[in-house]
Structure 1
Amino acid sequence: MTTALKAFIIAFSMYSQIPMPQFTWQEKEMKYAFCFFPWVGATIGGITMFWWWFCGKFSVGNMAFAMIGAAIPLAVTGGFHVDGFMDTMDAFHSYQPRERKLEILKDSHIGAFSVICLVLYELIYIGAYSEINAVRQIEIAAVGFFLSRCLSGIAAVTFPGAKKEGLLYMFTSRAHERTVKAALFLQTLSAAVLMLYIDGITGAAVLVGAGITFWYYYKKCKKELGGITGDTEGYFVTVCEGVIVLAAAVCKIVLI
């Protein structure tokens, strides 16, 4: 297998539950794994579009459309990013010193705040998802799974890290920074152009929402933790996906 194909397989092996060929990971392939991280989101987007088509074809009810649609990212990733979201919520809401927050991020137990925040998030997410049943909005939301991972990858190789250990540090420390950044910025630009092409107003609203989320993520993690971690990357992907769906839903309601 080529280096690019192996890097692609590593990205999917790490960030999805999709079965992949097994081989010993070498540093030369790990250098480029982040280039293919957004394609996990593209896979989720493709499945989402198929589910939307299926619901229309067989007259599936709106509740099933929203509930199962919201479950698709969880099924593909195995809840990988949601786990980081929950750990980050516990850390942020602990109101402890920075060192203690970093310890909470490593704790495998969940606290009350993570559960409360996840329930609140899912209620908003599913409610918004139930509104994006028009083709333009669902297409933009599908591209959003790709965009959120592009931005997450850019953050991983650009933002300061809170610690020099863990899965994120292992990948970013081995990444070919110039190539990964160029690939991720190009893919981000492509996703933005596609969103604006599908629907200018909805695309612009989603891009603004994702941009604000990206800026907030940097400021929040820098203030609370001194940088980002693997868990906060999961937090960002989860929140960014929620903001994208919410923005698309608001546009769909307003534009009718």
Structure 2
Amino acid sequence: MSTPPPPSSARPTLQDGLRFAFGTLTVLPVHVTRWDRQAARAGMRSAPVAGAVVGLCAAALGALLLLLGSGPLLAAVGSAAVPAALTRGLHLDGLADTADGLGSAKPAATALDIMKQSDIGPFGVITLLFVLLAQVAVYAQLYAAGWAHGALAALVSAVAARLALTLASRAGVPAARPGGLGAAVAGVLPVRGALLAALTGTLLCAAAGLALGPSGALHHGLAVLAALGSAQLLLAHCVRRFGGVTGDVFGALAETAATTALVVLALG
């Protein structure tokens, strides 16, 4: 991303929030016009919208491959690859770095230095391997049941991933260090606003699940709740371990939530 624009004291518009969300959470060609706490607040409220766009793209590719005659496994790889491509792998990189930091058993300052290194250690490699295997396995199972099952899972998991980021941006969650995306968005949302966004997103995902019937609505709603719960457990651990959040931690939260949602959708 280019050099952030100077802060502004004006109230951010919806467009400012969407630009912040898409400009920081995707590689789509969106120019961030404001980089300040107010814009970050609006942006993190809009994060699930960016997730919905990523999820729709993942769903479209997976369903298209299946409808063109591919097997469920290739469709699964397509749906798993799209979020990685549309984030330039930043969330997966954050997951790997966070795994290395947590697995190092070093003091917080040393662990944060490990996370800043450009290479990936053994904990990161193992974590990435199993997370991606789990995602592809779930997509393959769901696409085998029909394109709508896999497509809905791609959409809901992507929204759940960004809802986890919205919740992690609530007041009371500190930044582990100055600078970076973690410091820019840490604590920008009031707790009530973050919880309202999480509830709204969960209900909308449940509504999407109605395409598969009433049980589908319940299943998809529960998948989002489980995703947010797992992300909150990881968030609490990272705050205790590192003293706060970083951009890498946000990436780890997104991947944890997305994978948890998919696993829940594969069960039952």
Alignment TM class, shorter chain as reference: 0.7 to 0.9
Residue type of the alignment partner of 1:244: A
Residue type of the alignment partner of 2:249: T
Q: Which residue of 1 aligns with 2:185?
A: 171
How far the C-alpha of 1:78 sits from its partner, in A, is 0.8
SS of the residue corresponding to residue 228 of structure 1 reads coil
Deviates more, 1:143-152 or 1:187-196: 187-196
1:35-70 alpha-carbon deviations (Å, 9 max, x no partner): 111112101221123224313431122222111111
> 2:89 is matched with which residue: 70, 73, 79?
79
Q: Which residue of 2 aligns with 1:10?
A: 20
TM-score by length of 2: 0.81
Asked if the contact 2:228/2:257 (under 8 Å) is kept, the reply is no
Asked if the contact 1:102/1:225 (under 8 Å) is kept, the reply is yes
Residue type of the alignment partner of 2:170: V
> 1:97 is matched with which residue: 107, 121, 140?
107
Q: Which residue of 2 aligns with 1:212?
A: 229
Q: Which residue of 2 aligns with 1:239?
A: 256
> 1:38 is matched with which residue: 44, 48, 65?
48
> 2:139 is matched with which residue: 109, 125, 129?
129
**Structure 1 unaligned residues grouped into runs of 5+:** 252-256
CA distance in 2, matches of 1:225, 1:178: 21
CA distance in 2, matches of 1:204, 1:33: 24
Residue type of the alignment partner of 1:93: G
5 Å-filtered alignment, 1:116-195, equals: 116-133=126-143, 134=146, 135-136=148-149, 138-166=151-179, 167-172=181-186, 175=188, 177=190, 181=194, 184-194=197-207
Instruction: Name the structure, 1 or 2, with higher relative contact order (CA <8 Å, separation 6+).
Output: 1
**Structure 2 unaligned residues grouped into runs of 5+:** 1-11
Pairs aligned (count): 249
Residue type of the alignment partner of 1:247: V
| Structure 1 residue 221 corresponds to structure 2 residue 234 | no
Q: Percent identity?
A: 22
Residue type of the alignment partner of 2:257: C
SS of the residue corresponding to residue 108 of structure 1 reads coil
SS of the residue corresponding to residue 74 of structure 1 reads helix
SS of the residue corresponding to residue 245 of structure 2 reads coil
Asked if the contact 2:231/2:254 (under 8 Å) is kept, the reply is no
CA distance in 2, matches of 1:205, 1:180: 21
SS of the residue corresponding to residue 118 of structure 1 reads helix
Residue type of the alignment partner of 1:171: V
**1:225 to 1:30, Cα distance in 2 relative to 1, 3 A:** closer
Asked if the contact 1:81/1:233 (under 8 Å) is kept, the reply is yes
TM-score by length of 1: 0.84
